[in-house]
Structure 1
């Protein structure tokens, strides 16, 4: 019986986009049910649709090129089969970087909605957005044009001239150092994953919260650290895959890690947005931390005002705390009682001012996920 890893590879190719589909469906359902759909949601839906397309391309590539089989078990493939497999492979490459760029753009849009007014934060978000966009365009074009002419990437099997021993005698085109290109772009992807984790850390670190709480808030806002780890593993796997001594490259499932990376990125970026879903349908899931997410009594709101601002209790009570009453949030299952909404001036750490804009229920649920009304 022929030994093969292909069923495992195909299972992994299907698994990760399936999980991402469930996650995005819950996110979209929650947003639509609350009649709120933001730019970060639109962006992640586009990223998800590209990820589905990538999964289809990798699946077809696996079948056409006999991935998962030992090289000596693969039958002689026709030129047409090799060309078709290369087209699927190129399509996979062209989709990979844009998906990650869209996920990072979605995270930036979400962080913008946290309304941190410090110039360093706003400039950091804007600079990272430009960097992310520039890298997405540059890597896409470089990927597309890695061979000259472009079609040489897949038609070299039929266009090149071979000698009697089967060696290439004359090439019909040229290509860049593809392995180096893959490793460099993978490294840049991990670098941007790390950069996007620094911004949320800066946003929460000056808040007057316990260090453990700050770390917890940062961990949720920066779930991209999971993607950074996977990206680093991908670099190691691809480095080994393309080593000259690795002659049995087809007998592996390592090539499926790109699909895992992009879909886990989509899942991780949806974490904060799914808070509204858990509040509506699984209200007891986060009971242990509910005290940090609800402003249910006058005394508690007063205490939070003291904790964040250091103001005297009388001044905080007189100026900033309204009488609690049942909020319209209850129809969304958030269980938040009506109080004033506070904005934290993190630049001075000396004031809490009422939020003059009325937030929608879904916006409140995201901010209260972090135990805050907003970051100013």
Structure 2
């Protein structure tokens, strides 16, 4: 049974808010891969990890949507029992919450792997000590995630008792404690990932614009840490007897954490795209300007050549611009020598020699004159 969003405003908030952030995730991941394309760089491990992270976050979002529409997340358990399908609806909510927990751990892990591997790609060669530290943090994140997933799967024995409390002899551990301890550790991991490159960044001499960009990116990382801290508050206040009504804000904050993590991990590539398109625009404007200048220069040179060709020379006779109509009566002749322009058989006062012009063909006649 699908529950209308009109009767579940809290559930509607879950779908809308997380849908907006999921759209932003796809936008920044596309920008990341577009940057790889224009820079002609091959995919690295951090890119593949980001693909897995995006797939996990997408799956997590749709699990949340189904949990709202079919599991009644956002409504009180009493309302679900009376009006919206009864216990089967609550069972559906429990199964989806368990699935969301596993996907959340997978998405946060792959995002951290992507960020940490990017650190190695950027700073690993310059600082072997930093490289070893990053590998150690990566190992700890992997180990802790495996432990957290196992903890979720063994929380209730048998496992179906997690969503069906009517099972005889079933038992569960403390659900708030199961969320609280991993939440604290993951928050500390977020802080460590955020702080790792700080000493190296402070040593770099960056332009003011790049420093502001780095501050903005790490500012998003700080917001993620704050969200992790606020999420712990809702873990403590979680009411297991009415979990569908008390978990909706936890669902928003918990899912926003990996969604913002994707944005933070992909933002460093955005400046390279902006720089690429700025360079192309600058090259286009420069090419246009050079073409215009070349045209003007060519026109100027043409004018100068034309004017100089019209100038009078003391040793040459200027020909008329009359458009003569030649007939086709031309006959081959033996080589003949003619003197062009004045008496060139005698040296001029400037010591120039005569110019002899030899031709193989002569025109018998043209309109208006005889040869």
TM-score, normalization: structure 1? 0.64
Distance 1:200 1:109 in 2: 12
Aligned partner of 1:128 among 119, 137, 157: 137
Distance 2:34 2:208 in 1: 34
Q: List, as ranges, runs of 4+ consecutive aligned residues in structure 1 with deviation greater than 4 Å.
A: 208-216, 282-285
Distance 1:231 1:192 in 2: 11
Partner of 2:158: 149
75-84 or 181-190: bigger deviation:
75-84
* Alpha-carbon spacing, 1:181–1:229, altered in 2? closer, same or farther (3 Å): same
Q: Does the 8 Å CA contact 1:108/1:125 hold for their aligned counterparts?
A: yes
Distance 1:129 1:252 in 2: 31
What does the per-residue CA deviation read over 1:10-34, in whole Å, with 9 as the maximum and x for residues that have no partner? 2123222122112112222332344
Partner of 2:277: 281
Aligned partner of 1:12 among 9, 12, 17: 17
The alpha-carbon deviation at position 210 of structure 1 amounts to 9.1
Q: Does the 8 Å CA contact 1:16/1:263 hold for their aligned counterparts?
A: yes
* Alpha-carbon spacing, 1:46–1:282, altered in 2? closer, same or farther (3 Å): farther
Partner of 2:46: 40
Distance 1:224 1:213 in 2: 17
Question: Helix, strand or coil: the match of 2:189?
Answer: helix
Q: Give 1 or 2 for the bigger CA radius of gyration.
A: 2
Partner of 1:55: 61
Residue 99 (1) aligns with residue 107 (2):
yes
Aligned partner of 1:200 among 193, 197, 202: 197
Residue 177 (1) aligns with residue 174 (2):
yes
Q: Does the 8 Å CA contact 1:152/1:173 hold for their aligned counterparts?
A: yes
The two structures, once aligned, show a CA RMSD in angstroms of: 3.3
Unaligned segments of structure 2, at least 5 residues:
1-5, 284-371
The alpha-carbon deviation at position 135 of structure 1 amounts to 1.0
Q: Does the 8 Å CA contact 2:72/2:244 hold for their aligned counterparts?
A: no
Q: Does the 8 Å CA contact 1:17/1:263 hold for their aligned counterparts?
A: yes
Question: Helix, strand or coil: the match of 1:249?
Answer: helix
Q: How many residues align?
A: 275
Equivalent residue runs for 1:1-376 within 5 Å: 4-36=9-41, 37-70=43-76, 73-76=79-82, 77-116=85-124, 117-157=126-166, 159-160=167-168, 172-207=169-204, 217=214, 220=217, 223-242=220-239, 249-250=245-246, 253-281=249-277
Q: Does the 8 Å CA contact 2:91/2:164 hold for their aligned counterparts?
A: yes
Q: Does the 8 Å CA contact 1:13/1:259 hold for their aligned counterparts?
A: yes
Q: Does the 8 Å CA contact 2:72/2:89 hold for their aligned counterparts?
A: no
* Alpha-carbon spacing, 1:78–1:31, altered in 2? closer, same or farther (3 Å): same
The alpha-carbon deviation at position 236 of structure 1 amounts to 1.6
The alpha-carbon deviation at position 222 of structure 1 amounts to 7.2
Distance 2:213 2:36 in 1: 25
TM-score, normalization: structure 2? 0.65
Q: Does the 8 Å CA contact 1:71/1:250 hold for their aligned counterparts?
A: no
Unaligned segments of structure 1, at least 5 residues:
161-171, 288-325, 327-376
Q: Does the 8 Å CA contact 1:97/1:140 hold for their aligned counterparts?
A: yes
Distance 2:86 2:137 in 1: 46
Partner of 1:293: none
* Alpha-carbon spacing, 1:55–1:119, altered in 2? closer, same or farther (3 Å): same
Distance 1:141 1:243 in 2: 20
* Alpha-carbon spacing, 1:251–1:215, altered in 2? closer, same or farther (3 Å): closer
232-241 or 40-49: bigger deviation:
232-241
Question: Helix, strand or coil: the match of 2:237?
Answer: helix
